[in-house]
Structure 1
Amino acid sequence: MSGKTATLTGSALTDAEFFAPLIASWQPQEDQSTYAAYTISDLMTAEGSATTGEDNTLHLSFTMNHRMALTVIEMPISIIYQFTDKRIPDYIVSPVTTFSGIAQPLRMNDGTFRYLVNHATSAPTIKGSYDNGSKKFTINPSGLSSGSYKSYKVDGATRPKKPIEHKLQRGDYLRADGSLVPNWVHLTYEQKANVVAIVFWTPTETDTEGRITPASLTFDKIMAKEHPFCNHGLAVSIKNVSSSPMTWQNVSDGVEDFQSGPNFNPVDKVDYVTIREFSHNPKLGIINRILGYQNTKVLWAYNDYCKANGKTDFLVTPAELLKTFITQNPAPANSTGWYIPSAKELHMLCYKDVDDITSAFNDSYCETRNIVDASISAVSGDVVGMYNNYQSYWSSSEGSATSAYNMYSYTAFIVNSYKDGGVLMARAVCAF
């Protein structure tokens, strides 16, 4: 804080006066497109007050004040889904918006975008487009003051007059623009061409009463923080990550050892859960949690480390191939983007949410897979139960330094296999 606070004088200073040098020099990040990047750009200050309580305890209270200014970009909203089960929040579909300049705002659940600027300095120009780039817009934030916000309406920012009531359920079609089509609809040719994912789990399918590890989209703190509005359900890609099976690694190596070591050092490392199963009680283990998003981020960081240090034989193959898959098969708009599912998510894709995925398997544990495969077949995708239903899929969950979890789609059987021995398929999923 050296040089970032005012010199104390005989007169009392407000927090704004005391922190004036810090506030004036504060530079929000140019890329605020993730929740973490947005919040780290938000400077808040406070003046504390102290009171003495019982037993001479000292109580401090603070009222935080925003010191940056906020730009709110209102986009035209195409659809608002109001789900029949009120436990699922409204789902807003706005046109796919691309920001082409250095300024990368954060998308909010209501379809707007937010971008923090320092009103005391020149704000970057916000450039973007939508409708496949055919409609462009430019915003120059100005006339802002500390702690205030200003809205900019793109092309009038129209909204639908009435929400669409929708019963969200397994087998629903999720299109590239983020819109939904019920699983019972006979799809048109155009609709088929735009389907990229199939819903396989929603929060309404999990009864938390008496449960030990109920499925939750907030257990993955990284996903919840970076995509706080992807809280409606999970969907699986209509295609496999690769047309050919693969090993998890060609040469086995402990990814968790990398994760817990100094070479994995994101700013929010404390929020990451180990990708390796250590529990002796499967019901309490991390393989019974939705963690595929954060696991995939760990695997990508590990692969980057390996490539930078001449260890390409150690690359985690499903995670590496996923990068190519993403460039050729964009995830639904407004979703988390594709990731390799955890063992829990794979089991839910085949059966449903249970406390111990290692004990729920036989040829009757495939009700979700059957529903999902019917929808995938309708759009000519790669069904989950292909190869006479004996298909196996790698998860992003590590079992040990030499093993990783996978699932047989015919029975929902979760297996801990040698990384360099099993030659299995990989599938991508996302939260939306």
Structure 2
Amino acid sequence: MRDHPECVHGMVVAMHDTPQREKWATGQGATESTYGWALSFNEFTPGEETDWEEMRLSSSLYGYCRSRLMALYGSRHDDTTFPARNAIATYAAAHPAPAGSSGWFLPGENELATLCFGAPANFATSESLYYYTQLSMLKEINPQIDKAAGDMLTGKYCSSSELSTTHVWRVNLAPPAMA
């Protein structure tokens, strides 16, 4: 809200995937949690400290904040790149987001779960309406993407949410292989 107070809140899905799958991070960023680093880092400039506090208070599950944290981490670690984030920047250069929006970013765990399953929670419980095998929201979104001549969502997608120092939260939407 601070960065884009006039924007309409909602999610937008890119109509085309990047040409290739990208690594999430390289260098030290591939083995260190950006969130954990920021919690213990004591050398932020006043502007960076303000940004970090906003990110921390906004929730670590939102992709916009996590994408900003990746940029902050990268600015302090010369050996680190975030190829997945860079691919989004390349996409954004060719497909600008509407004025007044926050721009393109990697979704957070809750955003990716909502996009695919219809809700950010209860998708691991088989009794839930949002159980992950049902892909309730994806079944509504993919036909619309197809009608607009976009790339339907299938395959593996990562979020900007780190699970550990070496893993990010992701979904695999590829159909199961036949035995």
Normalised TM-score (structure 1): 0.35
Q: How does 1:216-235 map to 2 (within 5 A)?
A: 224-235=1-12
Q: Distance in 2 between matches of 1:247 and 1:403?
A: 11
Cross-structure match for 1:402: 166
Q: Distance in 1 between matches of 2:149 and 2:26?
A: 32
Structure 2 counterpart of 1:257, one-letter code: G
* Corresponding position: 1:349 with 2:105: no
Which residue of the other structure, out of 21, 34, 37, is the alignment partner of 1:258?
37
Which residue of the other structure, out of 240, 244, 249, is the alignment partner of 2:20?
244
User: Does structure 2 retain, via aligned residues, the 8 Å contact 1:259–1:274?
Assistant: no
Structure 1 residue 375: deviation in Å? 1.7
Q: Distance in 2 between matches of 1:321 and 1:263?
A: 29
Cross-structure match for 1:4: none
Q: How does 1:29-428 map to 2 (within 5 A)?
A: 224-240=1-17, 242-251=18-27, 252-254=30-32, 255-260=34-39, 261-264=41-44, 265-273=48-56, 289=61, 291-307=62-78, 311=79, 314-359=80-125, 361-364=131-134, 366-385=135-154, 391-409=155-173
Q: Distance in 2 between matches of 1:362 and 1:258?
A: 32
Structure 1 counterpart of 2:116, one-letter code: C
What is the SS of the residue equivalent to 2:160?
Answer: strand
Identity of aligned residues (%): 21
Structure 1 residue 263: deviation in Å? 4.8
What is the SS of the residue equivalent to 1:332?
Answer: coil
Deviations 1:130-172 (A, max 9, x none): xxxxxxxxxxxxxxxxxxxxxxxxxxxxxxxxxxxxxxxxxxx
User: Does structure 1 retain, via aligned residues, the 8 Å contact 2:117–2:123?
Assistant: no
Structure 2 residue ranges without an equivalent (≥5)? none
Q: Which structure has the highest strand share of the two?
A: 1
Deviations 1:178-215 (A, max 9, x none): xxxxxxxxxxxxxxxxxxxxxxxxxxxxxxxxxxxxxx
Structure 1 residue ranges without an equivalent (≥5)? 1-223, 276-285, 386-390, 412-432
Structure 1 residue 408: deviation in Å? 1.8
What is the SS of the residue equivalent to 1:273?
Answer: helix
Q: Which structure has the highest helix share of the two?
A: 2
Normalised TM-score (structure 2): 0.78
Structure 2 counterpart of 1:346, one-letter code: L
Structure 1 counterpart of 2:140, one-letter code: I
The number of residue pairs the alignment matches comes to: 164
C-alpha root-mean-square deviation of aligned residues, in Å?
2.5
Structure 1 counterpart of 2:149, one-letter code: S
| Residue 232 to residue 271, structure 1, CA distance change in 2 (3 Å) | closer
Structure 1 counterpart of 2:3, one-letter code: E
User: Does structure 2 retain, via aligned residues, the 8 Å contact 1:238–1:376?
Assistant: yes
Structure 1 counterpart of 2:37, one-letter code: F
Q: Distance in 1 between matches of 2:146 and 2:137?
A: 14
Give structure 1 regions of 4+ aligned residues with deviation exceeding 6 angstroms.
none
